[in-house]
Amino acid sequence: MQTDPECLTIPFQSLEITRDDIALGMGYADGALPMPFSAQMDTLLAQAERHVRIRAGFRVLPPSSVRIAAAGFFIEDTYFETNRIIARPLRKAETLAFFVATAGQGITAWSKDLFESDDLVQAYLVDALGSEIAERAAERIQKEIAERAETEGCRITNRYSPGYCNWSVAEQHKLFAFLPDNFCSITLTPSALMQPTKSVSGVIGVGANVQKLDYECKICLETHCYRHNIRHM
């Protein structure tokens, strides 16, 4: 299986994000976001559509260009040093898909405007919403890849991103080198950070014998990671 780079635009409403989804990311138990934050979140969710431009894209690489190693993988002659935590679930992959997803620049600007007008809580809520949108958009593109893979008798792994599971964020430069310039309107800073800020990139394994775990953090023993202590600071 292989595809050319493809970028999709995703309507905000189709992500079906609720205030409880965002509250969980902030640390609250389900349904426990107190007033007035819950009402503020509902208002922000109603306004979100005009501040976001959600795009997500992927490229499934030619299988002949992919080689999985013990602690990383090669695409052509480029070695991605993911470490064993990520290389292990990818080892049975026949090929790899690189993906990106973004909530767009507008949501960061919205949060910044609120922060500068001293509305700190709403700025934080918008920031948390932006993170949730980027993750949901990545989920959506993962589902798209899974559906394409299924038509060819393949399955997919979980998605893995530079910056997590001890995979250096600097490797994002290598990943973006295999995607078109400005793919889905996402660029990298010299220190390998994505612009817009609320963006996600990564890799997904594709093959007949790979599997997707219900809970991706199961593969990683990195107890320092904020996803184990989620507060979105």
- Which of these segments, 71-79, 92-100, 166-174, 205-213, binds other proteins (CB under 8 A)? 166-174
User: In whole angstroms, what is the distance from residue 107 CA to residue 114 CA?
Assistant: 11
User: In whole angstroms, what is the distance from residue 207 CA to residue 45 CA?
Assistant: 38
**Which run of H or of E encompasses 207?**
strand 199-207
- Which of these segments, 55-63, 64-72, 94-102, 219-227, binds other proteins (CB under 8 A)? 219-227
- Which of these segments, 12-20, 65-73, 140-148, 224-232, binds other proteins (CB under 8 A)? 224-232
Q: List the interface residues with other proteins, window 123-142 (CB under 8 A).
A: 124-125, 127
CB of 162 or CB of 207, closer to other proteins: 162
The answer to whether 35 contacts other proteins (rule: CB under 8 A) is yes
**Which run of H or of E encompasses 25?**
helix 19-26
Q: Cα dihedral sign for 230, 113, 136, 42?
A: positive
Tokens linked to 202:
């990564």
In the three-class reduction of DSSP (H, G, I as helix; E, B as strand; rest coil), residue 107 is classed as helix
By the criterion CB under 8 A, which residues form the site for other proteins? 26-28, 34-37, 115, 118, 120-121, 124-125, 127, 162-164, 166-170, 189, 191-193, 197, 222, 224-226, 229-233
